[in-house]
Amino acid sequence: MKKRWKSIIALGLSTIMCLSLAGCGGGSDTAASSGSSNGGTESATADSGAADAGAESGGAESDSGDKVITFWNVGTEGADKETYEMAIRQFNENTKSGYTIENIPTQNDKYKEKLVIAMSSGECPDMYTSWSGGPMNEYIDSGYAQPLDDLYAKYSLNERFMEGAIEQASYNGSIYAVPVKNISIAGIYYNKDLFAQYGVSVPKTLSELESACDTFLENGIIPFTLANGPKWTGSMYFQCLAARKGGLEPFQKAASGEGSFEDECFVYAGEKIQEWVNKGYFPEGFNSMSEDDGQATQFFYTEEAAMYLIGSWKTAAFKTDSEEAGNDFYDKVGWFSFPAVDGSSADASILCGTMGDQFISFNCTGEKLEAAFEFASYLSSAETVEYMVGASLIPPVKGVDSMITDPVSKSIIEASNQAGAVQLWYDQYLSPAVANAHLDGNQEVFGLTMTPEDANKKMQQAMEEDLAE
């Protein structure tokens, strides 16, 4: 087991202690459905480390007689749930292998805990979704994901996915995951009616954004809805501000050990956040509110808040909720990229996010691996892509922009196509120890209980400890 896995184990043990008897089961948050899959060649096999870990976790041992593929994911509702169920139906209709899919969805934040506990205890499922970057790389290093280059070639997925998506699914020169569901980038959803009512134009600079916020405050409207209980929601503000102030280089240098998270762009981000908190740009009690429970969304739906900085996966939820409620709310929704910082030379086209909302990795080998991979290939089939586009998702496949007519989704794909770069979410890019230091410190910055300087110092200390391992 490699040194970097120690952070996963440590995190898993601490999570277990906090959750007591929570275990790996999803309880009422999990559900099951079944399908089957297509076996074939054994062209993609694990390297020696992966093979050892896979055997320990049961992934490789199950090939002899176990025809069930366990699939963990966060598709608990809406378009996400339907996307996975659609792929399972296609899989059932076409496979020759005799394998079945045990679909086990879990709500987002609970899922993260569940996956860490499973990894640290050697109980990894056959197939699971995760987020690209540091955690995924550690799963790979520890043997819980298999190289997929040969299967990509066999199923022509290299020709299907955008290059950026394949890049984020790769590690050390090989492809280890299948990107699915959605191009997910941070941006600002806004209420077009409120903007028109108070004479506010879509801001191009941060000073214009702050002027808009002040106008809304003067008229009793909350500028930004935010539920920062899970911490990653507040991290979006920090990332966007840091990228607009200093570009990507400060982060890249800090993450590699060549620079520091005490750089001025990170201090600027924290200071701006606290300035906005003091001005009242966020709802009362936002730092303990739940994103998963829809507390931030509710302020947006009731038009108590004018804007919502969140990942672009929200488009589908806004559209679906509006249709189910039988109202015209979705017609009021617009989207714009985070504005440029006045006077900064940083590339204002840079985005924060991922070219696949989730990435499927595989903890199995041989015919089971190919069966599982075949199932995953249906998540980018023409039928599934057509459904996702209709549901206002933007799957990371080539040519998807020509299929999009929804105005909000068009704004998002245009920004993605024009982006000079896409910075992966900090809590995905960084190792768990460093990511947690950032998330914890940033939440305290939002809560005005820690200075930006102290929060960044703690993050830098965690980075140095991680690099020293």
d(CA 448, CA 275): 10
For range 86-107, the mean pLDDT: 94
Q: Give yes or no for residue 205 having a pLDDT over 80.
A: yes
Q: Give yes or no for residue 65 having a pLDDT over 90.
A: no
Q: Higher model confidence: residue 5 or residue 330?
A: 330
Question: Closest by alpha carbon to 82, among 409, 353, 294, 383?
Answer: 383
Exposure letters 155-184 (e unless 16+ CB within 10 A, then b)? bebeebbbebbbebbbbeeebbbbbbbbbb
Amino acid at 292: D
Helix, strand or coil, per DSSP, at residue 232: helix
pTM over 0.85: no
| Beta carbons within 10 angstroms of residue 72's beta carbon | 24
For residue 141, give every residue at least 6 positions away whose Cβ sits within 8 Å of its Cβ, in sequence order, or none: 2, 4, 5, 49
Tokens at 358, concatenated = 């989730």
Beta strands in 27-161 (DSSP E): 68-73, 100-105, 127-130
Pairing of strands 127-130, 305-311: unpaired
CB 403 within 8 A of CB 389: yes
Domains of the chain: 5-182+355-398 (3.40.190.10), 184-353+425-468 (3.40.190.10)
| Per-residue pLDDT tens over the stretch 24-36 | 222 333 333 333 2
| Per-residue pLDDT tens over the stretch 209-218 | 999 999 999 9
pLDDT at 40: 31
% residues pLDDT > 90 (the chain): 72
CB 120 within 8 A of CB 13: yes
Q: Give yes or no for residue 159 having a pLDDT over 50.
A: yes
Q: Give yes or no for residue 41 having a pLDDT over 80.
A: no
* Residue 299, burial from CB neighbour count under 10 angstroms (0-12, 13-18, 19+): buried
